[in-house]
Amino acid sequence: MVACLLAVTMPARAQAPEVTPAAPDPTGASTFVVLLDGARVGTESVSISRVGNEWLVSGTGLVLAPLDLSTMKFEMRYGLDWQPQRMVLEAALRGQPLAINTTFGLTTATNVMTQGGQRGNNAQQVSPRTVVIPNNFFGAYESLAVRLGSLSVGDRLPVYVPPSGETSVTVMQVAPRRVSLADERTLELREYLLTVMNSSGAIPVEMWVDNRGRMARLVMPTASLVVIREDLANVLAREERLAVDGDDDVFIGATGFSLGGTLTKAPSITGRAPAVILVSGPGPQDRDHVSYGVPLYAQLARALSRAGFLVVRYDGRGIGRSGGRAESSRIDEYTSDVLSVVEWLRRRDDVDRDRIAVVGYGDTGAIALSAARRSNRIRAVALLNSPGKPGRDVTLERQALALADTSLPESERQNRLDLQARVLDAVVSGRGWETIADDVRAQADTPWFRSWLQFDPNEMIRRMNQPILAVHGALDTEVPPAHASQIESLGHARRNRPASDTQAVVVADVNHLMLHATTGRVDEYATIESRTIADAVTTPLTDWLKTVLASSR
């Protein structure tokens, strides 16, 4: 669930590094757009001002279901050394009044709460200069952004979530970022890869901070949640990430809107070249498919273009510079976008129209297979760390893997799996919602999720004529490598194609991000020093594509 993203565990007391508040000056106002699964669900306005001997962080906001929080008043007062003084939150959560008043001593927090007519209070120990972030009012992260400027990799900062308790944030990596805006300005930013401790372990968080110490973007990848400042949310704002030789920004006509994308053509490519489409889908990622700070598709485009392919990567519907509506789109709609890119490539003078392949990564593999099933103009399909089982089975498998990492008793794990199964059945059938909470339904009952649960790779693969390659990291803990074997088995079972037309490659010591890793666990992602996709992934991909696209039909 997305709600209560900072559910609290109680780690050893975090030590707050010294902070120099005088520079830079963080005062000013910002408005943020809140996106969930790529769909806009709300806005928040936040300001930081200096009032006498205090910093005042204040704001309002409205975020729709499933979070369903209307914030009428948020005020957080800190001393000039960022020691918390007092917090006032007045809001409505799922239509019920919510008020939290918290006063702070040097190492104490005293809460008075009112929710739905019920009153309560508690007192808790906190660390000096803890950062105060109530659940689901994301503007409060502005206080964290200010503090990050004084931290280095490995530093840990205490974070208090009123009225639940204190947790901590650890800085795992810091990297420069640059964004070009619609008005031709360029913003220089710092990206912080953080881990936040909650009751189920360490969860990753990405934050961009500008040169004033103000938050520009907040990403919680595991929740598909993005909070982005309005100037960066403009459809023409684009982050300048990995510079790939031969990159050219393009717009591709789709059904009633345009897809913003990048065409990569290495200078060594002459004449009509074979082309590869990197498939996009729902979620917060844009054309570069940045995941945990790694621009996966930009790196793939570089490797593929150097191997002699013309490469297209594009923003998914409603993301970046692409139009369309993500909230009403299913696998079929995303498939249509791929086919629009195919037709756009076939009209180009520098593309061999009979040598076009698609590459899917993770869950976009379902879209890649669907596109190949619908069009024989796609010559080949490569799947990178993609599921080989029906969407319903994959979802239950992921839930079981996540629960296995918790300390919950076996009976509670089974109860949660049973609830998940009931939710999935209700999404597909439309029946049974009366036993399921409204907020759960609001998050699960979407066109995309319904189409995902009904997706069966066996139905696609057995009707496909194209060669298939499945490349999988042996340390993938999000989509276990057994899925590659499943894809290979499905391909070998095709009556219309020889077994050699389907291949699986499992790469040792590589995780779901296609990086060399030690454990493959999600909480390891931010600690990996090399942020470059392993050659052991790109080499079999490029070699296979050269073979299957060796000549026109």
Encoded tokens for 457: 């790779």
What does the buried/exposed string (b/e) look like for 204-242 if buried means 16 or more CB atoms within 10 Å of the residue's CB? bbbbbbbebbbbbbbbbbebbbbbbbebbbeeebbbebb
Taking residue 489's Cβ as centre, other Cβ atoms within 10 Å add up to 14
Q: Give the closest residue to 496 by CA, choosing from 362, 373, 397.
A: 373
pTM of the entire predicted model: 0.67
Position 439 scores a pLDDT of 74
Q: What is the 3-state secondary structure (H, E, C) of 284-352?
A: CCCCCCEECCEEHHHHHHHHHHHCCCEEEEECCCCCCCCCCCHHHCCHHHHHHHHHHHHHHHHCCCCEE
Interacting residues of 70 by C-beta distance below 8 A, sequence separation 6+: 61, 62, 63, 91, 92
Interacting residues of 411 by C-beta distance below 8 A, sequence separation 6+: none
Taking residue 18's Cβ as centre, other Cβ atoms within 10 Å add up to 7
Q: What is the pLDDT along the chain (553 residues), one digit of tens a residue?
A: 333 455 444 333 444 444 444 457 899 999 998 888 767 788 999 999 999 999 999 999 998 878 888 999 999 999 999 999 999 999 998 888 999 999 999 999 999 999 877 899 999 999 999 999 998 899 999 999 999 999 999 999 999 999 989 999 999 989 888 877 666 677 889 999 998 876 556 788 999 999 999 999 999 887 778 899 988 876 444 555 566 788 888 999 888 888 989 999 988 888 899 999 999 998 767 899 988 778 899 999 999 999 999 999 999 988 877 888 777 889 999 999 999 999 999 999 999 999 999 999 999 999 999 999 999 999 999 999 999 999 999 999 988 888 887 778 888 889 888 988 999 999 999 999 988 888 788 778 889 999 999 999 999 999 999 999 999 999 999 999 999 999 999 999 998 899 999 999 999 999 999 999 999 988 888 788 888 999 999 999 999 999 999 876 6
Position 379 scores a pLDDT of 97
CATH (residue range 241-390+455-548): 3.40.50.1820
In whole angstroms, give the CA distance from residue 245 to residue 20: 41
53 neighbors 19 (Cβ within 8 angstroms):
no
Backbone phi, then psi, for 302, in 5-degree steps? -65, -45
Give the C-alpha distances (Å, rounded to integers) separating 158 from 23, 144, 167: 21, 10, 6
Give the burial class of 498: count Cβ atoms within 10 A of its Cβ; 0-12 exposed, 13-18 middle, 19 or more buried. exposed
In whole angstroms, give the CA distance from residue 280 to residue 112: 46
Angle (CA) 55 58 63, round 5°: 150
CA 80 to chain centre: 35
206 neighbors 191 (Cβ within 8 angstroms):
yes
In whole angstroms, give the CA distance from residue 181 to residue 255: 26
Q: Where are the domains positioned within the chain? A: 28-233, 241-390+455-548, 392-449
Position 68 scores a pLDDT of 85
In whole angstroms, give the CA distance from residue 471 to residue 485: 10
Strand partners, 478: none
Is residue 43 classed as helix, strand or coil in its secondary structure?
Answer: strand
318 neighbors 325 (Cβ within 8 angstroms):
yes
Position 199 scores a pLDDT of 58
The pairing of strands 380-384 and 351-361 is parallel
43 neighbors 34 (Cβ within 8 angstroms):
yes
